[in-house]
Each structure stands twice: as structure tokens, then as C-alpha cells.
Amino acid sequence: MANLAALIKPGITGVVFVDYQRDYDTGSGPEKTPGAFINDLYEEKNRLLKDLAKNTLQVGIVCWVRAEEGESLWTKLNAFVLAIQGKIVADPNLSSQAYYAKVTRIATDDGSRHPVGLAVIAVEISYFSAI
Amino acid sequence: MTTQNRRDVLAGLKTVLQEITTIKTVVRTYMSIDLLNYSQADLPLVEINEPEETPDPEMTSQREMMDMNLALKCWFLNWGENPTATYESLVKAIRDKIGSNFTLSCAAIECQVGSVSGLEGEMPLFSFKITLRIKYYLDMLSA
């Protein structure tokens, strides 16, 4: 998860804020854009041997951008989403920490209105562990 | 000739397979093996499945040949991108070992490799099957 976060910040130039989803105020605000929250949605552990398990994480990256006046919100949002997707595609084993990481779904928020746009990138991460 | 029996044939097969240095564990199973009882250090593991047997009378009421068909299932770990080399070396090791001791140390008349399956599974746990045809004599007079 830390490596996934590192792909976005400092991996993508200009990203101001990346954190894990908290149950308290993180201090994120409109001034911290573009930014992303990494949400741990679901984890599955499949035991292969007594001392070996294959783990699959489903992660939702909630990302947001803010467009200035005169800027296209969707162009900016799409660029950010593509940048994150490109980083994951370029480093699918998250610096040798995962078996694979792949983007399974991208959803942009139809309710986004200038100046703030939201998108969710669902990522599946698989890794092996000693139970 | 010496009386032969299935127990000794299967025990002989297990002994022969245990002599292969690259194989860590050999077990006899009556149903599918529960891999959760085994660790990474126990692999490669060969399970000897319960055989199917058919009698082949040679001299009625005196001597009978038994044909035994069974499958070995070999499990192994491979963390690389391509498990084919490990698969091939294990297949070769098993075939060569049985070929060099096809009587299973005189427990059987012969033991032949029938077929070898392709590779199954996904990284890092893979398996394949090898079928064996084994013949041994039952001495009906001394049974």
C-alpha cells in the first residue's frame, strides 16, 4: 500500500496530497489538489500451503482535482486518472512488493462540477505471504 | 517364483521415488491430498494415488497377473516466470528413476510410465500427473 501511494506521490509530478482513508478529519481541502485517498476495500486470503498464502487486495483510489477558471475540469481529471493508471501499468509489481497490481475499473463522478472533479480507480493487488 | 502383492509393489514404488534427491516428500493417498498440511519445504511432493487393479489370469487357479494402473501427482513451487524447466527436470527425474528400476526392487514384474500430463496450476504452485502401468504376479497356490 505504501508503494502504491508512492507511485502517486511523489511518483506523479504536481500531486499535493496522498493519504489512506481515515475515520477522522485528515485536513484535506480544496487547496490540496490534485490529491488522492487510498481506500482498502477488501482483502482475500487464499491458503495454498501450511505456510504460504496468496492474498488479494481490492483498493479504491479516490482522487480529485481542481480546475482553475478557464481550465477544463474533465481534461484535468482525465489527465490525473491516466497518470495514476500509467504508473501502475509501468510498475505492476509495486517495486517487487506484489505479484501484480492491475487497474480493474475506473469510474468518474458524473456529479463532478467545476471546479472540483472526482474519480475512483479500483486496483487489484495480489501478493504472497507466509500465512 | 516369489509371491508378489500390491502392498509391496506400492511400498517399493514409494521407496524408489524417495530416492530421487530433488523430491522432498512422497505420500500415498486414498483421496486428494490436503496441501494445507504441507509446507514449502515439503515440496516437490509426489502423491501416489490409490491404484486401479484388474486381474489377468495366466494359469487358472495357479498364477495370476495383476495389472495395476495408478497416477502420481507431483506438486512443486516455482517463483520464476516460466516453470517449464522445473517441470521437465522433475518429469525426467521420475521417468529415469523408474526406468532404471522398473521392477521396483523386485516388488513387481515391471513398472512403465504411461503418460505425462501437461502443467497445471498457477504461480507459484504447479502440478502434473504421471500415469504408471505396473504388473505383478499373484501366486495363487501360496496365497
Each domain of chain A, given as residue ranges in start order, spans: 2-20+32-129
Q: How far is CA B36 from CA A131, B2, B122, in A?
A: 11, 40, 16
Is B81 inside a domain boundary? yes
**CATH 3.40.720.10: does it fit domain A2-20+32-129?**
no
Chain A residues with CB under 8 Å of B40 CB are 49, 51-52
* Mean residue pLDDT across chain A: 86
Q: Does A128 touch chain B (CB under 8 A)?
A: yes
Checking if the pLDDT of A21 tops 60, the result is: yes
Q: Using CB atoms, which residue from A50, A99, A128 is nearest to B36?
A: A50
Give the pLDDT band (50/70/90) at residue A79.
very high
Q: Using CB atoms, which residue from B38, B123, B125 is nearest to A50?
A: B38
Chain B residues with CB under 8 Å of A51 CB are 39-40
The predicted complex's ipTM stands at 0.80
Give the pLDDT band (50/70/90) at residue A131.
confident
pLDDT at B107: 86
Q: Look up the CATH number of the domain holding residue B74.
A: 3.30.70.1700
Q: Does A49 touch chain B (CB under 8 A)?
A: yes
Is B133 inside a domain boundary? yes
pLDDT (tens digit per residue) in B75-131: 999 998 789 999 999 999 999 999 999 988 888 888 999 999 999 999 899 999 999
Is B1 inside a domain boundary? no
pLDDT (tens digit per residue) in B31-87: 888 999 999 999 999 999 999 988 887 766 667 788 999 999 999 999 987 899 999
Give the pLDDT band (50/70/90) at residue A34.
confident
Checking if the pLDDT of A109 tops 90, the result is: no
Is B10 inside a domain boundary? yes
Chain A residues with CB under 8 Å of B35 CB are 48-49
Is B15 inside a domain boundary? yes
